[in-house]
Structure 1
Amino acid sequence: MRRRLRVAAYAVCVRDGRLLLARSANDDGVPEWVLPGGGMEHGEDPYDTVRREVAEETGYRIEVTGLLGVHSHRLERPRRLRRPVDHHGVRIVYEGRVTGGELRPETGGSTDLAAWHDLGAVPDLRRIALVDIALRLWRERPAGGRG
């Protein structure tokens, strides 16, 4: 089995009771909401990753206002016509504040729409689990930062 490690950085941006999310298609092509963010490039600091990814996916510039925590997950993924993959994801979750830019969809990337959602409506959205994990980190601010 092939092993794969992916380190990524994401932002929780809440303004006026609304959460900034981006929309991406899952492996089956079904749209779901995700936190703006994504994978680190080799040699990139995660702080720079989250600011770059938010700008790419939403059009906004952000100030990182805090580190909320780190979430680690591992799963085995079957691969069509290839060996299965043992995937280990390390997700660094920051709090961010929009400081400029204009909301717009990403062009030529992994997301196709960015939007603000009322915090109370988030449970009704089709979303990835990281959205709930990150919101829990944002609300509870655990001392150990583990999500």
Structure 2
Amino acid sequence: MSSDAIKKVRPAAYAVCVEDDRILLARWISPTGERLWTMPGGGLDHGEDPYDAAIRELAEETGYQVELERLLGVDSYHVHYPPDPQHAFPRDFHGLRIIYQGRVTGGELRNETDGSTDLAAWIPLAEVEQLDRIPLVDIAVALYRERPALGRIPRDS
């Protein structure tokens, strides 16, 4: 990657909420209009604590209040994007995702309006593999099931 690439680090926080063998997911709308399932959560506001961001984002995307019960882990990924019509320079993107386990304590399920997601739903865990989803869903489910001591799921390289 050339040194003139735009470098960006994006910290984000997510919550894994599982009840009755169902997981709470949100459907993300990509910049190209593709719809993929993801974990409820998202980017931290400048200066925001990840714990608070996960609670805020989950409420925005699902309508629920959540209590975070434990830190499941951290996922880090790095992607190089070539120049495109929206970005004159190549982009060097580093995503840092903090993943908590949460429990719904109030609110009502609803869809986000005017946001990055358009649908929130409880999906049976057994059906997650059949969904069109981003890799974060698989990472979060693995963290929830395996609870690795170091809080990370190694990526296939």
Q: TM-score range by the shorter chain?
A: over 0.9
For each residue in 1:40-88, what CA deviation from the matched residue of structure 2 results, as whole angstroms up to 9, or x when unmatched? 0011000000000000000000000000000000001123231010000
Structure 1: how far apart are the matches of 2:130 and 2:83?
30
For normalisation by structure 1, the TM-score amounts to 0.97
SS in 2 for 1:48: helix
Aligned residue among 93, 97, 101 for 1:87: 93
Alignment of structure 1 residues 26-41 onto 2, 5 Å = 26-41=30-45
**Runs (5+) with no aligned partner, structure 1:** none
User: Which structure has more strand as a fraction of its residues?
Assistant: 1
Could you tell me how far 1:17 is from its partner in structure 2?
0.5
- How many matched pairs? 147
Q: What are structure 2's unaligned runs of at least 5 residues? A: none
* Correspondence for 2:75 among 41, 64, 71: 71
Match of 2:123 among 101, 114, 117: 117
Instruction: Tell me the secondary structure at the aligned position of residue 51 of structure 2.
Output: helix
> How far apart, in 1, do the equivalents of 2:31 and 2:48 lie?
27
- How far 1:8 moved relative to its partner? 0.1
Cα distance in 1 for residues equivalent to 2:29 and 2:47: 28
Instruction: Give the match for residue 111 of structure 2.
Output: 105
For 1:14, which of 18, 28, 33 is the aligned residue? 18
Select the residue among 110, 131, 150 that pairs with 1:144: 150
SS in 2 for 1:138: helix
Deviation beyond 2 Å, 4+ runs, structure 1 = none
TM-score (norm 2): 0.91
Measured on the aligned residues, the alpha-carbon RMSD in Å equals 0.8
Q: Percent identity among equivalent residues?
A: 59
The one-letter code of the counterpart of 2:150 is G
| 1:111-142 deviations in Å (ceiling 9; x for gaps) | 01100000000000000000000100100000
Q: Which amino acid aligns with 1:99?
A: T
Residues in 2 aligned to 1:31 and 1:43: alpha-carbon distance in whole angstroms: 30
- Residue matched to 1:48: 52
Greater radius of gyration (CA): 2
Distance in 2 between residues matched to 1:110 and 1:26, nearest whole Å: 8
